[in-house]
Amino acid sequence: MNIYREQIVKPRLLKLLAGLSVGFLLFQFFLIRVFWKRDEVQNTVDTSKQAHVHVKPLQEPAQPAVANAVKIFVSACAELNIPVFLLEVDILSSLTPDKSPPTTFSNGCLFGCRQHVTFGCYYKYWDTQGIVQLLKSDFAIHSIRQADPRLHHDTIPTHFFLLDRGHKQPTAIQVVMFHSRLGSYFWHGAITPLSRLNRILPSTSSVTIYFGLYAGAYKKFEVDDVQVDNVTVKVPQPPDSFVQQIPHSRFIECNETQATKFAAQYGIDNSDISQKFQRKARQVMAKGKQLLDSLEIRFWLSSGTCLGWFRQCGIIPHSKDVDLGIWISDYNPQLIPTFQENGFKLKHMFGKISDSFELSFSAGDIKLDLFFFYDTPNYMWNGGTQAKTGNKYKYIFPRFTLCWTEFLDLRVRVPCDTLAYIEANYGPNWFRPVTEWDWKKSPSNVKENGVWPEKEWDQVIQVF
Ligand SMILES: *[C@@H]1O[C@H](CO)[C@@H](O)[C@H](O)[C@H]1NC(C)=O
Ligand SMILES: *[C@@H]1O[C@H](CO)[C@@H](O)[C@H](O)[C@H]1NC(C)=O
């Protein structure tokens, strides 16, 4: 530990700052009071706002204490071989992806101009004991834990907060634990309740929390070195791809309590037919995900597949298909050929890109329906077409955003407010199993939407 302290050369700025007049310090203090308001802890439902929340840098000389705290922390992690990586969004955003690391990026006021610095760490390599041993004299260390969603352990650590003991303007270093799941993505937990931060963080400080308002999921990433304010830190690679995921990273778990309740009330269908269907449906889902991911087309569980996830954490055995939702704005003409080249048969194509588009594929005896969703200021909708009559239908949903979840050991998206989505589609009695279902009449949110003009039928009603 002592060896480490001696290696840290106090930045010249400290001397500079000490030399400044009392009047200037008062002025700076005033700015700090103005800019670093505590109420910046954001707690908004719309995760897209998360990315726009930002630390407001002071355009005044750096606070060396902060850079120093970061240096001490980063050196300790290096000594323990803990690969922590920087998660400050504004710094990551300013790194160009093509610059091969180490890149020097510094305006001399990066760490210095904030009171709260966020790092992430692959949980696998984190070493609480080692960190406490090396840093307990410099920092007060708080850990936040939660019940393990995968039930491998009772509780797991999700965040650490290290508060610099040595300074009047306390620096908080937040370390977010990235837990590997399914071997294909990283998950981090939420800070619950968020009010815990009031007890951990000193009342004089204000922080912007980007990580921990919600649980989040990120595709697997590596880290590499860059230099920030003369400190070498690791950052996720490529930084822009990581940053782009942040506003859409919110993760929700399937509600196992609800699934247990459903199974207790209605039983589990373990028949051979049911099991076979579930196995095949999972394969279709996995293949569909792989293809849509390769085309960078976002999709979510829709209709019966979404209901199965929400109610039972599984596939509804008596359904015969897999239903996915896709924004029409994400449509890519490569979609149909890509699916056809990969073992899917196009069964029908209804509507057109500008109106009520839907596709239905088959893979063996499983149907994969892709419903395309249209956004309006007040609601979102997808369309239906009856091939025989040319009648059009419209299914209306309250506007929604997408969250990640796990389903059949795959990372997929669902509408974040899944209950609102399910209730729109299935009404208040969605919990009760229904085996008779008429897609033109049963949904609570179906509206008749006129008839396709006969001259368009060749285009808008294609059955193969
Ligand atoms: C970084 O190091 C260089 C060379 O040692 C020095 O000139 C510069 O002032 C340092 N910058 C900061 C922000 O400390
Ligand atoms: C999970 O489902 C149960 C039973 O339906 C419900 O009471 C509970 O609020 C749900 N939990 C969450 C986190 O939604």
pLDDT digits (tens, 9 = 90+) for 388-428: 999 999 999 999 999 999 999 999 999 999 999 999 999 99
Q: Where are the beta strands (DSSP E) in 7-115?
A: 84-86, 104-105
Domain 60-248 is found in CATH 3.30.530: no
169 band by pLDDT with thresholds 50, 70 and 90: low
Q: Output Rg (C-alpha) for the chain, integer angstroms.
A: 26
Is residue 261 in contact with ligand 2, taking CB distance under 6 Å? yes
- The confidence band for 195, taking pLDDT boundaries of 50, 70 and 90, is confident
59: confidence class by pLDDT, cuts 50, 70, 90: very low
> For position 103, what pLDDT does the model report?
60
Output the pLDDT for position 153. Answer: 77
Query: Mean pLDDT over residues 133-149, rounded?
Result: 92
pLDDT digits (tens, 9 = 90+) for 325-345: 999 999 999 999 999 999 999
Res. 47: pLDDT tops 50: no
Give 200 Cα–ligand 2 centroid separation in angstroms.
Answer: 29
Q: Which residue has the higher pLDDT, 424 or 45?
A: 424
Mean pLDDT of 283-301: 97
Say if residues 370 and 358 touch (Cβ distance below 8 Å).
yes
Measured from the Cα of 106, ligand 1's closest atom is 13
More confident position, 321 or 58: 321
Please choose from 256, 257, 405, 417 the residue to mutate so as to test ligand 2's pocket, defined by most ligand atoms within 8 A of CB.
257
Q: Is the CB of 146 under 6 A from ligand 2?
A: no
* pLDDT (0 to 100) of residue 106: 56
Question: What stretch(es) of the chain map to CATH 3.30.460.10?
Answer: 256-463
Q: What is the pLDDT of residue 112?
A: 60
Say yes or no to pLDDT of 233 above 70: yes
Judged against a pLDDT cut of 70, whether residue 230 lies above it is answered with yes
Q: Is the pLDDT of residue 38 over 60?
A: no
Residue ranges with strand state E in 238-338:
300-301, 321-327
Atom of ligand 1 nearest to the CA of 109: 13
pLDDT of residue 172: 86
Establish whether residue 258 lines the binding site of ligand 2, counting it when its CB lies within 6 angstroms of any ligand atom.
yes
Centroid of ligand 2 to alpha carbon of 275 (angstroms): 26
Reply yes or no on whether the pLDDT at 260 is more than 90: yes
Pick 145 or 200 by higher pLDDT: 145
Distance (Å, whole) CA 57 – CA 20: 20
Confidence class for position 244, pLDDT limits 50, 70, 90: very high
Q: Is residue 218 scored above 60 in pLDDT?
A: yes
**For the chain, what is the mean pLDDT?**
83
Is the pLDDT higher at 5 or at 211? 211
- Residues near 256 by Cβ (< 8 Å), separated by ≥ 6? 313
Q: What is the pLDDT of residue 28?
A: 35
Which residue type does 315 have?
Answer: I
Task: Write down the pLDDT at residue 14.
Answer: 39
Q: What is the pTM (predicted TM-score) of this model?
A: 0.83
Max mean pLDDT among 7-11, 100-104, 388-392 falls in 388-392
Question: What is the C-alpha to C-alpha distance for residues 237 and 224, in angstroms, rounded to an integer?
Answer: 7
What is the mean pLDDT of the segment spanning 287-307? 97
Query: How far is Cα of residue 217 from the mean position of the Cα atoms in its chain?
Result: 4
**Cα–chain-centroid distance for residue 21?**
46
Residue 10 has pLDDT above 70, yes or no: no
Measured between its terminal Cα atoms, the distance across the chain in Å is 72
Find the mean pLDDT for residues 286-296.
Answer: 97
Judged by DSSP in three states, 294 sits in helix
Of 137-151, 192-206, 346-360, 440-454, give the range with the top mean pLDDT: 346-360
Question: Which CATH topology does 256-463 take?
Answer: Beta Polymerase; domain 2 (3.30.460)
